Amino acid sequence: MNSVATGPDSMLGITLQGEVPEPSLPVAAVARRLGVAPATLRTWDRRYGLGPRGHTTGRHRRYSPDDVARLELMQRALLRGASPAEAAEYALKAHAEPEIPKPKAVEEVPDGSTLAKGLGRAALAMDTPSVQQLLIEAIEADGVVACWDRVVRPVLTAVAGRWAHSGACVEVEHLLNECVLAAMIAATPLLTRARNPRPVLLSCAPEERHSLPLYVLRAALARREVGTQMLGAALPADALAAAVRRTAPAAIVLWAQLPRYGDPAVFQRVPRTRQKTRMFGCGPGWAAVQLPDQVQRLDALAEAVDQIEAVVVGVRK
């Protein structure tokens, strides 16, 4: 009767005496077979999870026939014009296997897209170029708001959860925030002539420093040719009042991420102008408070873009 193998033989993939393991190929051989650089294979593994499924950390990557078949599917999809993310998703779905539950990690985003999972892996590896490229791909594919909701926010939530659990990954969060900020600024077109003659003023509530969603909102509005004035994080109430007097904005959007900064009294300090200024409280920090009657609550960024555009340029959604 055959017995279960232990020791060095089991590490080579032999699980029963006399059983021959599937042949596997090293990275260099697979790269030659596909006609790509070995670095490309490592990038596909890191970004899209298209590496060898039996790989163990600390050992050289070796690709099984099934691993190579998935890569060949991806390559064929690329040759037919698919983006790298689309090609990877196609290859993964075509060779899907039942998932074995694992402990949640930053790079394993629950219910996340392929791009979100790739972003998590790249962020955890502190691979800034890959993070930046994945953000560019996500914005080009679906726009800035969808990139935020479907790709960035799930990863930030996973990072925050890991920090809360173990105190780790603060550096990952900082790197990701900086990369997202740069991507959103790059995705914001310069408007020489906006559709709205009076700007939309974007600011965080006093003491609120989580300004990243405002940059997503600004980019999305600019792509619809809606002009804004960005005042950023933690703007004091007196400074907000001064900005309103200077610019007479068509609308004011105050972002509050944390409930302790969602003080509705700040809206009462906004001075009146000759032309009516609409006011919006945007973000989860306003969820538990009663906003003044003249202030409209906006819970989601996609909703905020539609509502603000409708108010300042008369577009009905």
Tens of pLDDT, residues 123-134:
888 899 999 999
Domain membership flag for residue 3: no
Among 186, 212, 232, the domain boundary falls at 186
Let me know if residue 24 belongs to a domain. yes
- End-to-end, the C-alpha distance of the chain in Å comes to 72
Give pLDDT, residue 252: 96
Query: Does the pTM of the predicted model rise above 0.75?
Result: no
Q: Is the pLDDT of residue 80 over 70?
A: no
**What's the whole-number mean pLDDT along residues 250-267?**
92
Does residue 134 belong to any structural domain of this protein? yes
Residue 205 lies in a domain: yes
CATH number at residue 31: 1.10.1660.10
pLDDT in tens, 135-171: 999 999 889 999 999 999 889 888 877 765 666 788 9
- Asked if the structure places residue 248 within a domain, the reply is yes
What local confidence, expressed as pLDDT, does residue 74 receive? 82
Band of residue 98 on the pLDDT scale cut at 50, 70, 90 = very low
Rounded to whole angstroms, what are the CA distances from 189 to 186, 213, 218, 219, 220? 8, 17, 10, 7, 9
Do both 233 and 303 map to the same domain? yes
Alpha carbon distance 33, 228 (integer Å)? 52
Residue 301 within a domain: yes
CATH code, domain carrying 139? 1.10.1240.10
Domain end call among 38, 61, 94? 94
Helix (H, G, I), strand (E, B) or coil at 248: coil
pLDDT digits (tens, 9 = 90+) for 5-59: 333 332 223 233 333 345 688 888 888 888 788 888 888 888 888 888 765 544 5
Q: Is the dihedral of CA 70, 76, 79, 82 positive or negative?
A: negative
134 with 86, same domain?
no
On whether the CB atoms of residues 239 and 266 are closer than 8 A, the answer is: no
Output the pLDDT for position 5. 37
Task: Please tell me whether residues 74 and 118 are part of one structural domain.
Answer: no
Is there a single domain that holds both residue 218 and residue 272? yes
pLDDT of 104 above 50: no
Least confident span in 73-82, 106-115, 249-258, 278-287:
106-115
Are residues 155 and 81 part of one domain?
A: no
Same-domain check for residues 204 and 308: yes
Does residue 43 lie in a domain region?
Answer: yes
Question: pLDDT at residue 101 above 70?
Answer: no
Give the whole-angstrom CA distance, residue 313 versus residue 211: 25
Portion of the chain with pLDDT greater than 90, in percent: 42
Tokens of 164: 């809360």
Nearest Cα neighbor of 77 from 113, 50, 52 is 50
pLDDT higher than threshold 80 for residue 314? no
Residue 203's φ and ψ, nearest 5 degrees, are: -155, 150
Q: Report yes or no on 270 lying in a domain.
A: yes
Mean pLDDT of all residues belonging to the chain: 81
Claim to verify: residue 308 and residue 223 sit in the same structural domain: yes
Instruction: Write the CATH number for 207.
Output: 3.40.50.280
Residues 6+ apart with CB under 8 A from 40: 31
Q: Within this chain, do residues 72 and 171 fall inside the same structural domain, yes or no?
A: no
Alpha helices in the chain (DSSP H): 8-11, 27-34, 38-48, 65-79, 84-94, 114-124, 128-142, 144-146, 153-166, 170-186, 212-222, 237-247, 265-268, 301-313
Domain shared by 53 and 148, yes or no: no
The range of the structural domain enclosing residue 156 comes to: 114-186
pLDDT for the residue numbered 230: 96
Count of the separate structural domains present in the chain: 3
Q: Which comes out higher in pLDDT, residue 78 or 293?
A: 293
- 157 and 246 in a single domain? The answer is no
Last residue of a domain, one of 131, 157, 186: 186
Q: What pLDDT was estimated at residue 16? A: 33
Same domain, yes or no: 87 and 176: no
